[in-house]
Chain A
Amino acid sequence: MNRPVGKQFMQGNEACVFAAIDAGARFYAGYPITPSSEIAELCAEFLPQVKGVFLQMEDELGSMAAVIGASAAGTKSFTATSGPGFSLMQENLGMAIYTEVPCVVVNVQRNGPSTALATRPGQGDVMQTRWGTHGDHPIIVLSPSSVQEYYDLTVRAFNLSEKYCTPVIILTDEVIGHMKEDLVIPQLDDLEIINRKVPTQSIEEYRPYQTGDDDIPAIAPFGSDYIVHISSSCHDETGFSNSKPQTADKLVRRLHRKIDRNIEDIVQVEWFGARNADLCIIAYGAVSRTAKQVVVDAEEKGLSVNLLRIITHWPFPDAQVKEALNQAKAVIVAEMNLGQVAQEIQRLNSSHTPIYSLTRIDGEMIIPSQIMSKIEEVMRS
């Protein structure tokens, strides 16, 4: 593969593939679906060139299962899909979380629900990434807003996944997936690449789900000298099923703890515009680009507006959102769904700051004039 390096002009989905390969991914299993198909196409082309494997699966259930299997065998693995396919991945996504198998799932969102407007953007899967699979579970979800960031966050997704032994979801949308803009691809040596922990115990003493103080297991790959058992049923440190109440309790609490205690490492946001503005827009993904234009336009009109851009959807940036709620006189949440994140912000609103939810679900982007009209309306009231 001729690895691009330096300044490039490419599509978001294309940047994702180069980033995944740079991060060390050598296995992709998927079922192509608009608007994520370019990821499958390019993996089919490039992965074999780096001694990797591309598998076109029969459906998304199989795709997710294959990704778990490949990663359990020690290969960094990923898949990409959109809403309908992401729905089918939920069961096995839960298995990957519960069995602590690192992997990356890219969801290039389109308008939903169901098949809906297949070629148009949406942001309706934010809550699905949080609660799509059943049971109490933690999840890490990252949301890029440019082609550069799509590259950067794909590398980061693999790193977080390996570091915390958990699936990481890249939640993007049709606009970011398909738009082309410039980005700089660093030299490989300049990239920080994190690989999962390796066991240090003797083969006799080894227990794959035994953890130290960091709550993170060192699960040996299938095929090594260590004996590893992975079960989607409740399991103890040996990996074999164990249905004692205290085992079930201990496992799920540890899964949450390993993420919760590392919030500062995981959660990222971007502040744009004056930090102490009167009005704060909260947005993410493609819509945050609209919001940035509005912050610039507002400044020219003498209006005091800033943006809090959510980069890490889950775990939710509670502290940063609370800061916005405490600082601003009003908050506008702009999103291409019916207020999924606005509700989450309401949960944190102990300061009773007025929160205005600006929504759009017709498959079209929220445009700057829409947010600007809302700002002018809010400022009048």
Chain B
Amino acid sequence: MKKKQWQFILAGTGGQGLILAGAVLAKAAISEAKKVIQTSSYGAQSRGGFSQAEVIISDGEIYFMKCDKPNFILALSQAAYDKYKDNVTSECIILYDHDTVISNKRMNDKGYSFNQRAIELGNSKVINSVALGAILKLCPILENESVIRKLKEELPEKVVPLNLEAFEVGYREVTP
């Protein structure tokens, strides 16, 4: 029987914490005894340029390490959206940021006000945790608790409460 494999691409702008979000997703999956590979792409500058994390989660061995058939794309910038909108299957979920992605939505793509909502929560940097909540809502392949545990482990202690709140907001407000 063919093992189920999930390919996630988290794409946006350097500084949004997407590589950290990818790491949290990956480590949560590892804690559930799944096979995981995480890769990332980034430009020469660490802030402001295009940045993305790719995470493959599988019940079986993963050979090819890049997301060639993504099941889920998070697009937190117009460039991220444009990079993928024409290169994925119709089954692939694209979740984009309403505030920065303004053109050419595919019929079934899902938008949410990630940037604005993070700012309202008190810190634009929690945008990655809002996104993680949303991802878990739309792709419930991991337990929320596994992700929350890894958020607590990976983040500095003083920012954990706000990030957990951001995770809850993303999970609650984004609906399939």
Chain A residues engaging chain B, CB cutoff 8 angstroms: 9, 118-119, 175, 178-182, 286, 289-290, 292-293, 296, 365, 367-369
Contact = CB atoms under 8 A, between A and B. Distances in A.
A367 B66 contact: yes
B44 A119 contact: yes
B37 A180 contact: yes
B50 to A, nearest CB: 11
Contact of A293 (B30, B43, B63): B63
Binding site secondary structure of chain B: mixed
B43 A119 contact: yes
B64 A367 contact: yes
Given A175-B39, A175-B65, A367-B68, 13 more contacts: A9-B27, A9-B30, A9-B36, A119-B41, A179-B65, A180-B26, A181-B65, A289-B63, A289-B64, A293-B63, A367-B64, A368-B64, A369-B68
A365 B37 CA distance: 15
Contacts of B43: 119
Interface string B103-145: 0000000000000000000000000000000000000000000
Interface of B: 23, 26-27, 30, 35-44, 62-66, 68
Contacts of A292: 63-64
Contacts of B66: 175, 365, 367
A367 B35 CA distance: 20
A98 B128 CA distance: 53
B39 A179 contact: yes
Contacts of B38: 179-181
A182 B65 contact: no
B64 A180 contact: no
A365 B30 CA distance: 25
Contacts of B26: 9, 180
Contacts of B65: 175, 179, 181, 286, 289
Contact of B36 (A119, A181, A286): A181
The listed residue with most A CB atoms (<10 A of its CB), out of B26, B27, B35, B37, is B37
A369 B43 CA distance: 26
B68 A182 contact: no
Contact of B42 (A9, A119, A175, A179): A119
Given A175-B65, A286-B65, A368-B64, A182 B41 contact: no
Contacts of A118: 44
B42 A181 contact: no
27 contacts: A9-B30, A119-B44, A175-B39, A175-B66, A179-B38, A179-B65, A180-B23, A180-B26, A180-B37, A180-B38, A180-B39, A181-B36, A181-B62, A181-B65, A182-B35, A182-B36, A286-B65, A289-B64, A289-B65, A290-B64, A292-B63, A292-B64, A293-B63, A365-B66, A367-B64, A367-B66, A368-B68
A367 B69 CA distance: 10
Contact of A178 (B30, B35, B40, B68): B40
